């Protein structure tokens, strides 16, 4: 008998921290305590974290009441179920007023500057609602619905937007079916499924209309009015030729995700707020698949193959990269709930979908954490090991932290400085940015002895900025002090490690002014636990005194300060910069004082 607790996974959690662009692996061991082999199906779903989308407020613009009474001037013809040609309207989505769209554009730009998305894909969960008549009209098959989801995925997957069918319901109601426009608010209120996380699609009969939708900024995110309404016969395999290949849904979902018609405002600037969709006027050419150029003063031919124009389904086959970026920005600003839907992540994977664990045995399975093209942040996924015969699943939570900021170079990510009591020191961090998106940043820290000057700002491609790290040892005792500074941005974060060593006040000799630079032999040598030496400084100089191992690695900084002329006593306690005793061996004492340099060997014994 197979028992759920007879399968164990070790470790019980996977965790990795890597820099952006890096790849690492982790191994888990699956143990089967049954007397027979067990097959396990493996699936992985990303789980959104609380910080995957930073809170952002954007105004919503409910359509005016007149916009809900759609213009029914026929502009296309399609066939009904009897093969008769019917006059119809290609799209009933109301155009957005120019002043509203300019406010929407401002909100998008503000959101891009102040937030980040730790996702590289969006899963649009679809709740499908079939409204049909008592005589069976409109009672479409599940196959048509599945084919429609496939059409959507073919169109949107290149832009990292996928559609998952999560529910289908059928409702017989003659009134709703025969006039979906008049009863829209009624059936949506009763049938809708969580509009924050779902695209609700409604099919039925809408005399004269192929479909309509609402822009993402039209209602509050949780309003049941969101969604797409479609003439049932325009789904793949329907009778509404030449609009029966499923691209009416592709077009209306484009509106749902924030795209305007390519011909909006004709040849004017910012016609659809997408730079790479050529402008076209809004005459009869928008229904033709012929290559035309109705805006000859603007680059490019008319985008007759774009899903957001009015040509028939056979002519439509493309979005542009600019439209993909606009949908991404619209989702982040106005439909962030979609980013909370689980997806199959690209940042964690294994080579097997099914594994067989031997009887009374175990199996090692390697998981890859891939930080390629990810921005900084935290990522969470669940790995599911499922045995179908007993309907049980073993869960393996997995966590990935991406540190670093893409395309940003820092002159240092760790800083060590040595001061005497009651001193100040300025260190300069150079930031150089080579990315295409605007980088906004701020420095966060809780270090009493640090002040960051110029810590908030932004960088564009090719820009550099110097940030001042001011360290002070006012009223502080000699010793080692540590702290962290977090460089946080809309593209990730970087931790900068700080270390300040406060030295004992220097012992100064008998007041004799030395005639030349000299470093005494350290005594004792060999030594344990400490050794002393003197430095003679003939001229005021910046003096740096450090200890290196034989491989040339800096082990400890004993002094880094401006000193007046004099003779100074120093001591090394046989410890590195973080206060840990060093290993026994030979070390090099290096002293630099302006133009003077000195090296000598010291032997530390245990």
Catalytic residues: 252
Give the other-Cβ count within 10 Å of 466's Cβ: 11
Cα–Cα distance for residue pair 129/271, rounded to 1 Å: 34
Indicate the Cα dihedral angle 40, 45, 46, 47, nearest 10°: -100
**Residue keyed to tokens 């006593």:** 569
- Give the Å distances, CA to CA, from 433 to 146, 427, 488, 572: 46, 20, 14, 41
Closest CA to 503 of 479, 530, 472: 479
Q: Which two tokens stand for residue 17?
A: 């921290």
Q: DSSP of 386-416, one letter per residue? A: EEGGGTEEEEEEEEEEEEB-TTEEES-SEEE
Give 68's DSSP letter. G
- Provide the 3-class DSSP secondary structure of residue 234: helix
Closest CA to 310 of 270, 268, 282, 272: 282
Name the β-bridge partners of 387. Answer: 392
Question: What length is written for the chain?
Answer: 606
Cα–Cα distance for residue pair 454/116, rounded to 1 Å: 22
Closest CA to 243 of 315, 153, 179, 182: 315
Name the β-bridge partners of 568. Answer: 508, 535
The answer to whether residues 57 and 334 touch, using CB atoms and an 8 Å cutoff, is no
Give the other-Cβ count within 10 Å of 578's Cβ: 11
Give the chain's largest Cα–Cα span. 114
- Provide the 3-class DSSP secondary structure of residue 603: strand
**Termini Cα distance of the chain:** 62
């Amino acid at each position: 008998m197979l028992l759920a607790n007879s399968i164990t996974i070790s470790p019980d959690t996977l965790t990795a921290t890597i820099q952006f662009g890096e790849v690492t692996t982790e191994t888990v061991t699956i143990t089967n305590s049954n007397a027979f082999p067990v097959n396990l199906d493996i699936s992985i779903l990303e789980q959104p974290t609380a910080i995957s989308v930073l809170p952002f407020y954007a105004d919503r613009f409910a359509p005016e009441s007149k916009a809900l009474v759609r213009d029914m001037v026929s502009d296309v013809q399609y066939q009904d179920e009897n093969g008769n040609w019917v006059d119809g309207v290609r799209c009933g989505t109301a155009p957005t007023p120019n002043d509203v769209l300019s406010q929407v554009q401002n909100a998008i730009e503000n959101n891009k500057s102040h937030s980040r998305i730790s996702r590289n894909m969006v899963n649009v969960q679809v709740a499908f609602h079939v409204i049909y008549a008592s005589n069976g009209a409109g009672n479409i098959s599940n196959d048509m619905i599945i084919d429609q989801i496939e059409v959507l995925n073919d169109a949107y997957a290149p832009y990292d937007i996928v559609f998952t069918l999560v529910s289908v319901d059928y409702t017989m109601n003659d009134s709703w079916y025969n006039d979906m426009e008049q009863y829209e608010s009624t059936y949506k209120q009763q049938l809708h499924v969580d509009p924050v996380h779902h695209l609700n699609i409604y099919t039925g009969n809408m005399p004269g209309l192929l479909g309509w939708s609402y822009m993402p900024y039209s209602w509050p995110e949780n309003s049941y009015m969101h969604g797409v309404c479609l003439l049932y016969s325009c789904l793949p395999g329907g009778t509404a030729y030449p609009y029966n290949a499923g691209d009416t849904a592709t077009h209306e979902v484009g509106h749902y995700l924030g795209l305007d018609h390519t011909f909006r405002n004709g040849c004017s600037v910012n016609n659809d707020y997408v730079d790479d969709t050529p402008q076209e006027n809004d005459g009869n050419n928008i229904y033709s698949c012929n290559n035309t150029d109705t805006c000859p003063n603007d680059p490019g031919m008319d985008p007759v193959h774009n899903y957001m124009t009015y040509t028939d389904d056979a002519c439509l086959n493309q979005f542009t990269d600019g439209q993909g970026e606009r949908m991404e920005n619209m989702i982040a600003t106005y439909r962030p709930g979609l980013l909370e839907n689980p997806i199959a992540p690209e940042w964690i994977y294994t080579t097997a979908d099914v594994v067989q664990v031997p009887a009374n045995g175990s199996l090692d399975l390697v998981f890859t954490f891939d930080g390629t093209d990810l921005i900084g942040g935290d990522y969470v996924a669940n790995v599911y090991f499922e045995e179908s015969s007993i309907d049980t699943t073993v869960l393996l939570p997995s966590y990935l932290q991406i540190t670093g900021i893409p395309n940003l170079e820092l002159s240092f990510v760790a800083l060590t400085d040595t001061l005497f009591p009651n001193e100040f020191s300025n260190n300069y961090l150079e930031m150089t940015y080579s990315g295409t998106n605007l980088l906004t940043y701020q420095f966060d820290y809780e270090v009493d002895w640090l002040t960051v000057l110029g810590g908030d700002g932004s960088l564009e491609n090719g820009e550099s900025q110097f940030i001042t790290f001011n360290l002070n040892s006012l009223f502080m005792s000699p010793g080692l002090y540590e702290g962290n500074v977090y460089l946080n941005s809309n593209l990730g974060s970087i931790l900068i490690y700080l270390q300040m060593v406060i030295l004992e006040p220097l012992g100064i000799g008998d007041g004799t002014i030395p005639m030349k630079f000299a470093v005494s032999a350290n005594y004792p040598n060999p030594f344990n636990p400490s050794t002393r030496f003197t430095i003679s400084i003939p001229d005021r100089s910046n003096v740096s005194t450090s200890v290196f191992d034989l491989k040339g690695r800096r082990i400890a900084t004993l002094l880094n300060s401006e000193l007046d002329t004099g003779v100074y006593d120093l001591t090394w306690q046989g410890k590195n910069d973080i206060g840990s005793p060093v290993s026994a061996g030979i070390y090099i004492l290096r002293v630099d004082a302006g133009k003077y340099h000195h090296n000598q060997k010291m032997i530390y014994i245990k």
